Chain A
Amino acid sequence: MKNKFKYSFILATVTLASGCSSLGVEPWERDLLAKEQMALTSSPIDSALDDHIYFSKEASSGGKSFGGGGCGCN
Chain B
Amino acid sequence: MQLINDDNEMKKTVNKANLKAALTLATTALLGSVQVAAATTSVEPTEDSWSFDSAFLYYSEANRVSAAEAVFNANKIYSDDSILNVKLTIDALTGASANGAVAQPKVQTFTRPSGKGDYDIKPGDTPLDDTFHDTRVQLNGQWTQALAQNYTGSAGGHISKEYDYLSLGVNGNIAYDFNKKNSIASFGLSHFQDTFTPEGGLPKPFASMTAAYHDDGDESSHDATRMGSDDDKTTTDIMVGFTQVINRNMVTQLNYSYSVVDGYLTDPFKILSLLDSNGIAQDYLYENRPDKRTKQSVFAQTKYHFDETILDVSYRYMWDDWEIDSHTVDTRFYIPLGNGSYLEPHLRFYQQAAAEFYQPFLMQGDALPEFASADYRIGEMTAYTVGLKYGMKLADGNDLSFRLEYYRQDPKSAGQKSPGVLANMEIYERIDAIIAQVSYSF
Contact = CB atoms under 8 A, between A and B. Distances in A.
B125 interface: no
B32 A48 contact: yes
B350 A54 contact: yes
B257 A24 contact: no
A33 to B, nearest CB: 6
Interface stretch (B65-73, B271-279, B362-370, B421-429): B65-73
Interface stretch (B1-9, B165-173, B210-218, B221-229): B165-173
Given A32-B249, A69-B167, A74-B269, A63 B297 contact: yes
Interface string A15-53: 011001101111101111111111111111111110111
B66 to A, nearest CB: 12
B190 to A, nearest CB: 4
Nearest to A8: B298
Interface size class of B (residues with CB under 8 A): 35 or more
Nearest to B401: A43
B247 interface: yes
Taking each of A16, A26, A42, A69, which has the highest tally of chain B beta carbons within 10 Å of its own beta carbon?
Answer: A69
Interface string A50-74: 0111100111101111111111101
A25 B71 CA distance: 36
Interface in B211-269: 233-235, 237, 239, 242-249, 251-257, 259, 261, 269
Interface string B409-442: 1000000000000000000000000010101000
Contact of B248 (A25, A51, A58, A60): A25
Contact of B167 (A2, A26, A38, A71): A71
3 smallest CB-CB distances across A and B, nearest first, come from A65-B32, A24-B182, A72-B165
26 contacts: A5-B317, A13-B254, A16-B244, A24-B180, A27-B180, A32-B249, A33-B21, A34-B21, A35-B42, A38-B303, A39-B39, A40-B25, A40-B243, A40-B251, A40-B303, A45-B55, A45-B73, A48-B33, A53-B407, A58-B350, A59-B355, A60-B350, A65-B33, A67-B235, A69-B261, A70-B160
